[in-house]
A and B are shown apart, each in its own frame.
Chain A
Amino acid sequence: MFIIALNSFENESDRESFETIYIENRDRMYHCAYSILKDEPSAEDAVSDSFISLARNFEKLRQMNCNQIRSYLIITVRNASFRIYNSRKREVSTEDIYLDEEDDSDISIDYETDELRKALFSMIQKLDKKYGDVIMLKYFCDLHDKEIAEALEISIENVKIRLHRAKTALKKMLKGSGLCD
């Protein structure tokens, strides 16, 4: 698998960038994976899976800064960890695809302040990770739906669904916070 991934680099400088990213992030990614899997070999497998994903999407990631890449890697390693965790339990992780409620949370904001943006970000952190992750990949890492689908190994439709639900939930949380009408 790694050979396939490394073959996707166009030149030596890409390979060097990859190695640098690998060395800078592998420990942090390992701790993230271990917090889910509680098992060293599986956590290492999750880390290697994520680097394969990184290599596959390297064209796009080349334009990211180190913070964006770090977020991308943490999200993909967590996703890989959950996949391993689920396969260990012999359960297939399925997307909860049914809408439980309609989107009636249209909001109106008079002034966009720092406080509002900060509050919104803390709400994104409070979202279920599968929804928070798509928001981060979309708006922070600036990935297209297709690229998010590849990174998380889900369908484009599911990406759209998760984005929609995440935004609906955020609107409701904002409304509830009293920061907007």
Chain B
Amino acid sequence: MTDKEFDELIRKSVTQYGSDYEIYSSDKHKFSDRFENQMSELIRSKKEEKHKFLRLVLSLSALAAVLVIGIIGVNILMPMMNLSSGSSTVQDLKTSVADENDVSDSTNTTDSVKTADTQNNEAEEQPAAEDAKMDNIVGDIDNNVDSIDNNVGTDYSFPINNSSKSIKSVGFEVTAKISGKETALDDEKTERIAIIVLGVVSDSSILSDSELTEEKLEYFSEKGDCVTIQGKNSSPLEISRKDGTKYTTDSVTIMFDHNECYLIVVSGNETNVFSVSEMKEFCDELHSYIQ
């Protein structure tokens, strides 16, 4: 019988008889005043809180409406009032507008030849300048990737923003455990572990479904060393793979020992297990960071 079939048998069994799992008396118990008050008071306070919130929203809406009316009044009604205040003012306005047109005409004619020339020159110079700029950017990216490759000690490039400096700005939290016990990490180690873990996950070519058995998984979760990386404040991690695909996960955990390495990708409610046993160096390096 396969695991799936056995799971299905259990499911059918508990679905059929599960309501008898635990039977306790439902005799009325006289709960203490402390308990009763705690519940009723908290629910009531929450409702009052909701009413307060509604009142606040209404007040803010009214205030916003007054402000909008005020702005409309200033921008539309005031000029209209000025225009209707006398014919001399209107005449002054017309004169000033005419003067402005004259000025703009003269500037247009004098500058038009110059502008055309400079635009032509700029058009010739721009591609060269952009090329040079692009070369610099590409150079920077290459440098960053090189430095990450050096850090990782493998040829896995780090995909997120192509820069190790961007790791902290993305906001990661890394925890590491040795034989089940959490170990302290300084900023530098945190950053380097993040580079390694995400670098590995990003390269889908090294990930393959493993025949990892539950026993082995238990072994690694209990006795193996592990590092877990997750977004700060429970924010999801978006991981871009080398092949261009992206996926989002709550956290990435790698469990390993000196001989074997398994990659456990915990994503939402799913746990996928991949074997990356060829990555002995990577395991050793990770181990050296969390020691």
A residues apposed to B, CB below 8 Å? 2-3, 6-7, 15, 19, 22, 26-32, 35, 40-41, 44, 47-48, 67-68, 70-71, 74-75, 78, 97-99, 102-103, 106-109, 112, 114, 116-118, 120-121, 124-125, 132, 135-136, 139-140, 144-147, 156-157, 160-161, 164, 167, 170-171, 180
**Interface SS of chain B:** helix
* Cβ A161 vs Cβ B17 within 8 A: no
Query: Which chain A positions have C-beta within 8 A of B6?
Result: 107, 167, 171
Q: B43 at the A/B interface (Cβ < 8 Å)?
A: yes
Apart from A106-B1, A156-B271, A157-B222, 16 more pairs, CB < 8 Å: A15-B46, A26-B31, A31-B26, A44-B31, A67-B19, A68-B18, A78-B22, A117-B9, A120-B13, A140-B14, A140-B15, A145-B269, A156-B266, A161-B218, A161-B222, A171-B6
Question: Across the interface, do B24 and A28 meet the contact criterion of CB distance under 8 Å?
Answer: yes
A selection of 5 A-B contacts at a CB cut-off of 8 Å is: A32-B22, A41-B32, A67-B18, A68-B18, A147-B269
Determine the distance from Cα of A35 to Cα of B27 in the docked complex, in whole angstroms.
14
Q: List the one stretch of B34-42, B124-132, B187-195, B232-240 in contact with chain A.
A: B34-42
Shortest Cβ-Cβ A-B pairs, 7 listed: A144-B269, A157-B221, A140-B18, A121-B17, A117-B13, A67-B19, A140-B14
B interface with A by C-beta (< 8 Å) = 1, 3, 6-7, 9-22, 24-29, 31-32, 34-35, 38-39, 42-43, 45-46, 180, 214-215, 217-219, 221-222, 266, 268-269, 271
* A136 with B14, Cβ < 8 A, contacts A15-B46, A31-B25, A156-B271 known: yes
B residues near A146, Cβ cutoff 8 Å: 266, 268-269
The interface residues of chain B lying within 8 Å CB-to-CB of A117 are: 9, 12-13, 16-17
| A101 CB, min distance to chain B CBs, angstroms | 10
Q: How far is the CA of A78 from the CA of B38 in the complex (A)?
A: 21
Identity of the chain B residue whose Cβ is nearest the Cβ of A125 in the assembled complex: B21
Closest Cβ neighbor of B25 among chain A residues = A31
Complex partner residue of A118 from B17, B31, B35, CB under 8 angstroms: B17
Chain A residues near B18 (CB-CB < 8 A) = 67-68, 71, 121, 136, 139-140
Q: A48 to nearest B CB, angstroms? A: 7
Choice from B20, B21, B34, B222 contacting A98 with Cβ under 8 Å = B222
Given the interface pairs A27-B26, A44-B35, the reply to whether A167 lies near B10 with Cβ below 8 Å is yes
Contact status of A118 and B271, CB under 8 A, knowing A27-B29, A71-B21: no
Once the chains are docked, how many angstroms separate the CA of A132 from the CA of B22? Answer: 11
State which of A31, A44, A74 has its C-beta within 8 Å of the C-beta of B32. Answer: A44
Least Cβ distance of A29 to chain B in Å? 8
Contact status of A120 and B43, CB under 8 A, knowing A71-B22, A97-B222, A145-B271:
no
Residue of B nearest to A155 (CB): B221
Q: Which residues of B contact A31 (CB under 8 A)?
A: 24-27, 29
**Residues of the A chain whose Cβ atoms lie less than 8 Å from the Cβ of B217:** 160
Residue of B18, B28, B34 with most chain A CB atoms under a 10 A cut-off: B18
Asked, given contacts A32-B24, A118-B17, A171-B6, whether A139 binds B46 with beta carbons under 8 Å apart, the answer is: no
* Alpha-carbon separation in the docked complex, A75 to B17 (Å): 16
Cβ A28 vs Cβ B9 within 8 A = no
CB distance A124 to B222 under 8 Å?
Answer: no
- Which chain A residues lie closer than 8 Å to B15 at the CB level? 139-140
| A124, B269: Cβ atoms closer than 8 Å | no
A71-B19 in contact given A31-B24, A164-B218 (Cβ < 8 Å): yes
List chain A residues, Cβ under 8 A from B34.
41, 44
CA–CA, A119 and B206, complex, Å: 45
Residues of B within 8 A of A170 (CB): 10
Q: Which of B24, B27, B42, B269 has most A Cβ within 10 Å?
A: B24
Closest chain-A Cβ to B273's Cβ sits at a distance in Å of 11
Q: Within the assembled complex, what's the spacing in Å between the Cα atoms of A120 and B254?
A: 36
B221 / chain A contacts, CB cutoff of 8 Å = 157, 160-161
* Contact status A120-B9, CB under 8 Å: yes
| Measured CA separation A107–B12 after assembly (Å) | 17
Q: Are B21 and A140 in contact (CB under 8 A)?
A: yes
